[in-house]
Structure 1
């Protein structure tokens, strides 16, 4: 693996994250142009399916190269090769779904069927590096996957196709991904919008390609596969964590960019793999109290000598104070701040 070629790995401190989690035990579904077997994906691919005719019957063929590239960004494992590709979650499994003959030429119906299939095969993460029309079938499939506790990561879309965040990235509960360049700035190709949750590297991204070769891609597709790999790392380390909390952990630990707080170009910021795996992140809803409470005065024991009330007030005060402290930490987490290292 050459660091200069795979600049996104160094930028995201992927090797440091791999000391904490490598995605073992997690299945990531990739509805795309199929996935061609590749040396860097040996052992990482499980038989999938073809939603549309013309493939191998199990998703394990690709004439376009896009799906193979996305799979590599998630789970390639050529650590000892000077030209090999390394994924964000190299021990995750890839469930290939052939749902688009040339990636962008797929249909919403095929994508919906691909998502349904991924749920039926118990995939924990679905990486959607495509956008589609939000027809009734696709909306139903996406919502059903969310209800089934599946983490869905989807590309916001590229300028030229549309200036709006596409579907399913625009669906609440889906992690909508935009892109940044090598300098950590908004990638010119990435659309912006209020639905953006996080951003990841999206320019000149090196990954697996056809015929055992390699490809270099630019777009929110690549950023999406990277974030899907990050979700796999989290789901591997915290297997009981609900999908909504996986997304929350990614947004809460992201490195803020642009104007302070969430914005339409960067969302909550650039993903931070190590922080997402190590920070003590309060659960969803807890930080929304917006209350910073002083430690309460302990109540006197009641006539029975029961200190339960005093303990309860003290605990509540500590929780509320922690919630306020979390808000301050979240808002101040800027690009020049060190990532939190509050280990579990």
Structure 2
């Protein structure tokens, strides 16, 4: 059962289209200029302004597997391609279409609005929206894995991944998940990685569930749990892991996921809590890397993110925050170093073994006359010596028998 867990949106502008189950209106509205100031801490936490000196993500398409996008909001106008409906894993139960996806799309590729508006981490990237129909969010935490039905070979997430790859996406962002692996999804992930596509997914919001509190670890969330996928946890303003963020070994890195300003359908703004927001932000950083280095393979993108993360745990890694909070500018620099180190050194034709003198041609195989003569002479001498010894011994034996 696909879902987004216990993510929350808090609206700052009352909109009729917003579900009150996910957003609660507050008295003080925020305008476009205000939201830019409100999001400053998020951009600085990821060192995005420094990264923008190198690239802003032009030429990269990020596939967003979510509940759809309102492509008419100012921050996303002209930047979104809407793909086909990928279907539902839980027929008949749908969430508010476009609310979650619009927020995530703007965090990835929002281009602002005049002098204000929300900026995504890769403001010049494009979005390929691949709509899914999700199960309802669950207010009381998580559903135990044993209650989930994940045995079917087909999967809307797998279809979305394949469609993204076939339509030129370089990064796939998945702020969603379910407990337990699915064969179709795992195979789709493998195909995407083989084509050089970077996959980013939410680790989940099960850090405060009864199971997590009792066992000091959270259930694994998929697709974040598949090998090769960048699993993302949520951190707060101080870079500490958010209490609700799932903790297990699928968490590779973290990003802001508490009080993150987002765009809502219709053009309003709100605040978001959850690993969903953190995932979208990391997908934006991956888009910056792919924009600068289009041919960089996914595993080097992961290494660039993990090896440059800030606020690294004392032991270098822990299962709540991963290798630390992503640093976009540092990751860009490391990606170039890793790609250069992995590149084969070009060698001019005819100089593949250096510029020194060529070795002499070895002797052709076959008999050598001198050695063959010596061998024959030695063999003949041995035979003569053996024959002579036999003759002498025979004569002595014969003389000893005479009377």
Fold-level match, TM-score > 0.5?
yes
CA distance in 1 between counterparts of 2:250 and 2:288 reads: 23
Normalised to the residue count of structure 1, the TM-score between the two structures is: 0.75
Q: Per the alignment, in what secondary structure is the counterpart of residue 160 of structure 2?
A: helix
> How far is 1:111 from its partner?
1.4
Unaligned runs of 5+ in 2: 1-32, 89-95, 139-148, 213-217, 343-353, 359-403
Could you say which residue in structure 2 is the equivalent of 1:47? 82
Greater displacement, 241-250 / 181-190: 241-250
* Larger gyration radius, structure 1 or structure 2: 2
Q: How many residue pairs align between the two structures? A: 283
Could you say which residue in structure 1 is the equivalent of 2:190? 143
Could you say which residue in structure 2 is the equivalent of 1:91? 124
Match of 1:122 among 165, 168, 189: 168
Q: 1:104 to 1:91 in 2, by over 3 A?
A: farther
Match of 1:157 among 204, 210, 221: 204
> How far is 1:225 from its partner?
0.2
Could you say which residue in structure 2 is the equivalent of 1:73? 107
Greater displacement, 87-96 / 250-259: 250-259
> How far is 1:283 from its partner?
3.5
Q: 1:267 to 1:148 in 2, by over 3 A?
A: same
Q: Does 1:174 align with 2:207?
A: no
Relative contact order, higher structure (CA 8 A, sep 6+): 2
8 Å Cα contact 1:103-1:130 kept in structure 2: no
Match of 1:206 among 257, 261, 264: 261
> How far is 1:13 from its partner?
2.5
Could you say which residue in structure 1 is the equivalent of 2:19? none
Q: Per the alignment, in what secondary structure is the counterpart of residue 283 of structure 1?
A: helix
Could you say which residue in structure 1 is the equivalent of 2:158? 112
1:130-179 deviations in Å (ceiling 9; x for gaps): 11241221222122211221100010000257722311111111101011
Q: 1:148 to 1:104 in 2, by over 3 A?
A: farther
CA distance in 2 between counterparts of 1:115 and 1:103 reads: 22
> How far is 1:10 from its partner?
2.3
Could you say which residue in structure 1 is the equivalent of 2:303? 248
8 Å Cα contact 2:300-2:335 kept in structure 1: no
8 Å Cα contact 1:63-1:210 kept in structure 2: no
Q: 1:72 to 1:103 in 2, by over 3 A?
A: farther
CA distance in 2 between counterparts of 1:99 and 1:273 reads: 29
Could you say which residue in structure 2 is the equivalent of 1:12? 46
CA distance in 2 between counterparts of 1:305 and 1:278 reads: 34
Could you say which residue in structure 1 is the equivalent of 2:63? 29
CA distance in 1 between counterparts of 2:355 and 2:328 reads: 49
